[in-house]
Amino acid sequence: MAKKLWGGRFKKKIDKDFEQFSKSIQYDFKLARVDVFHSIIHTLALSGSGLLNKKETKTIIDALNEIIKDIDSGSFKPNLSSEDIHTDIHNRLQKKIGRLSAKVHTLRSRNDQIAFNEKFYCLDEAINIKNLVGDVLNSFFVLMKEYDNQPFVGYTHTQRAQVILFSDYLCAFGHMLARDSNRIKRFYDSVIPYVGAGALAGTSLHSKEYFKAIDVFFSYNHTGSDKIKSVESSIDNVSDRDFLIEFLGIISIIQMHLSRLAEDIILYSTQEFDYLDLPEEFCTGSSLMPHKKNPDFLELVRGYTGRIYGNQVSLMTMMKGLPMAYNRDMQLDKEPLFSSVEIIKSELKIMAKFIKGIKLNKEIIAEALLDERLYATELAEFLVFKGIAFKDAHDIVGKLIRYAEDNKTQVKQMPDKLLKKFCVKLNSSDVARVMHAAHAITSKKSIKRKVPKPDA
Ligand code: ARG
């Protein structure tokens, strides 16, 4: 077993089963890089406070930088017998510099480290997720351009409603994603990784030494390092996981958007709708039915919603009722966090490629657009502009549609004489013009048809 960061007061050895049960190294190794960042800042603060001399400081910082190099090159393998990533990094340092490593943890607590690490991890991943959301947004733009001016069937209650542009439909998802992107940006701006909390009560190192250390670390140019501060409330810092709940909340909203998108595409690609043809490289076949082309990617996206919402609920429930300040329960925040981050990144990455591969079945859509019920609202509006009150116009068109349905005809087919029985303001040439996709589209003047550019 790897050496622990504690143990002096214990006479008995830790129970093996409990030891295994309490470990987090199998997942928190993901925080290795940011854990070393914390050690660098802390070492610099100890040095500034006179607790490490120049030579010791250089030896420690050089060794820590070597560990970062190992992590970046992919040669870093966590020692799974360590209790957690903090212990693992400490033991590694000990192998490199011997006894001197014992000074690095001076006036430091893992409670402080883990809060710092998780915030730094979130900052990095917020940027990654924001970029991936941007890629999906760009794919929507590609599709919007490809099908510029293509009329499409608009639904409410999954019932045919009114004619829209396919790009209007895509634009709605563009707005969702732009909001997601801005939500991540606001989150990024709000997260502050603190140093100097100790276990909960702060440390005897002066905050100005932490700030000096942060400044030096900032010159290393690691993303997010401009946000680090010396702690303001040490107790809150070690006990706060609001930022994780917020991050998982934002991921849940993105997931909800992807799930709704997935559901729509699944529906529109069924033989019953057949509006869309899906990119084959993201579909799978059936082991039994030779003809099948199944939308498995979209189904998995929809299915993962349970996991992602569950991760958020699990975190909120774990935090509920925790006494101040750090409690070991909080170790369990990592699996839901990593799980949601990994899932959403994979989904977004694949979705960006998937969207670009969607093809419209224009003939099928054209046929659907012949359904004149789609233009009932436009006809009522036409009558309004002829001076008829909307409620009356609604009634007239309702009766017309009902008549056409009962008599197996179309309103567009009805002669002037018949039309005028419903309303004297109607004639067949106006009806033919108004009950048409081109009119339905051009008569809509209230829409700006614009996707907001997400904040940088
Ligand atoms: N592995 C712990 C966590 O993830 C690190 C902090 C442990 N602190 C302690 N006092 N046992 O939360």
Active site residues: 157, 286
- Antiparallel, parallel or unpaired: β 359-360 and 276-277: antiparallel
In whole angstroms, what is the distance from residue 161 CA to residue 102 CA? 71
- Atom number, ligand 1, closest to the C-alpha of residue 83: 1
Mean pLDDT of 83-109: 97
The proportion of the chain whose per-residue pLDDT surpasses 70, expressed as a percent, equals 100
Q: Whose CA is closest to 93, among 35, 49, 138? A: 35
Find the helix or strand (DSSP H, E) in which 172 lies. helix 166-190
Tokens of 19: 């030891």
- pLDDT tens-digit readout, 153-192: 999 999 999 999 999 999 999 999 999 999 999 999 999 9
Ligand 1 site, residue 331, Cβ cutoff 6 A: yes
CA torsion 442→445→446→447, rounded to 10°?
Answer: 50
User: What is the CA(98)–ligand 1 centre distance, in A?
Assistant: 24
In whole angstroms, what is the distance from residue 79 CA to residue 352 CA? 36
In whole angstroms, what is the distance from residue 175 CA to residue 140 CA? 11
Among 43-57, 275-289, 343-357, where is mean pLDDT lowest? 275-289
User: What is the CA(111)–ligand 1 centre distance, in A?
Assistant: 6
Q: Phi/psi at 124 (nearest 5 deg)?
A: -60, -50
**164 and 171 in contact (C-beta within 8 Å)?**
no
Ligand 1 site, residue 330, Cβ cutoff 6 A: yes
User: What is the CA(129)–ligand 1 centre distance, in A?
Assistant: 27
β-bridge partners, 153: 163
Ligand 1 site, residue 24, Cβ cutoff 6 A: yes
- pTM for this model (two decimals): 0.94
Cis peptide before 325 (omega within 30 of 0): yes
Mean pLDDT of 202-212: 96
Mean pLDDT of 134-142: 97
Ligand 1 site, residue 111, Cβ cutoff 6 A: yes
Nearest CA to ligand 1 atom 11: 328
Mean pLDDT of 5-22: 88
Query: What DSSP string describes 217-279?
Result: HHTTT-TTGGG-EE-S-HHHHHH--HHHHHHHHHHHHHHHHHHHHHHHHHHHTSTTT--EE--
Best of 108, 111, 335 to mutate for ligand 1, by most ligand atoms within 8 A of CB? 111
Instruction: Give the per-residue pLDDT at 1.
Output: 56
Number of residues written out for the chain: 456
Mean pLDDT of 291-315: 95
User: What is the CA(275)–ligand 1 centre distance, in A?
Assistant: 53
In whole angstroms, what is the distance from residue 16 CA to residue 21 CA? 9
Please name each of the domains of the chain with its CATH number.
Answer: 16-106 (1.10.275.10), 111-191+233-366 (1.20.200.10), 371-442 (1.10.40.30)
**52 and 60 in contact (C-beta within 8 Å)?**
yes
Q: Whose CA is closest to 205, among 233, 231, 235? A: 231
Ligand 1 site, residue 328, Cβ cutoff 6 A: yes
Mean pLDDT of 345-361: 98
